Structure 1
Amino acid sequence: MNKNYFSRALLLFNLFKNRTLKQDDIAQAENKALHLEGKSNDFKLLIAMVKDTLAGNYKMDKWNMSVIIATIIYVISPIDAIPDIVPILGWLDDASIVGYAISKLADEISRYKKYKSQFSKIDF
């Protein structure tokens, strides 16, 4: 592994490890979702999962929650592997992080979709 990439990854880890997710961060994440093109809906799903969990409507284990929070913080952070000021490439690394999180959270996402489907079956 290139030493420069490792140093940058370590710097990012140290910046993000103690950061908490705030309502402003969630709003900013929802705005950033527009730039993720093919991963936009996946990222919106992660945001919905975190919102429902923080509101106490859905239970998720701490590890899965931490993966989602780290993904959101990475996407909204101006400091990442390829800064967002670099058009297209800056959003491409964010989209790949979202894709990675989605692949790691497949079981949790399936449970969440079952949970959400309970509400769509209500007839009025």
Structure 2
Amino acid sequence: MPSLFAQGLRLSKNALFGTFMGRATKLLGKPFKVLTIVNEVADKLADAKSKDNKFKQLFNSALTIVRLVRSYASGDYRELKTTTIISGLAVLLYVLAPVDLIPDFIPVVGWLDDLSLVSWFAGKFHTELAQFRAWEDRQAQPAASEPARGDRSLPAVAELGHS
């Protein structure tokens, strides 16, 4: 059996995924619609019950793609190529689609094509995902140059010669 990445690579070359790439390209200029899609995918993925294994890692990668596309659509993060964000959005559209190559209502197997595309994206764009996660980490940390409110070690405004 081929790896999930290999299956995802095969799916990424499929005409059906090409349709999602086209839709993603058209949607990219419509941030509200992109955010709606991202929220729907996040809700769909949040329902998954998985343990700490490779599938959980893939779900975490999928959620990273959701956050990446959301941050791009909101304008907070733009440090990536347009082709990367289009591919990420296309993967999310595919995951969200109720009817794809293997319909999601088929237990376990229905998610394999979705997960294989996530695996393909995570493998192909691993550098971009790592850069995005690093950016997220930097955003989560308070700026070192900003003093805490009420920090008495800093001079008061009047002490700086302002009145």
Name which of 94, 100, 114 aligns with 2:114. 94
Q: How does 1:8-19 map to 2 (within 5 A)?
A: 9-14=14-19, 17-18=22-23
Contact 1:29 1:72 in 2 (8 A): yes
Identity of paired residues, percent?
22
Q: Is residue 2:63 matched to residue 1:44?
A: yes
CA distance in 1, matches of 2:64, 2:91: 12
Unpaired runs of 5+ residues, structure 1, are: 1-5
Q: Which residue of 2 aligns with 1:54?
A: 73
CA-CA distance at 1:110 after TM superposition: 1.5
Aligned pairs for 1:1-124 (under 5 A) are: 9-14=14-19, 17-18=22-23, 20=27, 22=33, 23-34=35-46, 35=48, 37=50, 38=55, 39-59=58-78, 60-122=80-142
Q: CA RMSD in A?
A: 2.4
TM-score (norm 1): 0.81
**Larger helix percent:** 1
For residues 61 and 19 of structure 2, what CA distance do their matches in structure 1 show?
26
Instruction: Flag the structure with larger Rg.
Output: 2
Higher relative CO (Cα under 8 Å, sequence separation at least 6) belongs to 2
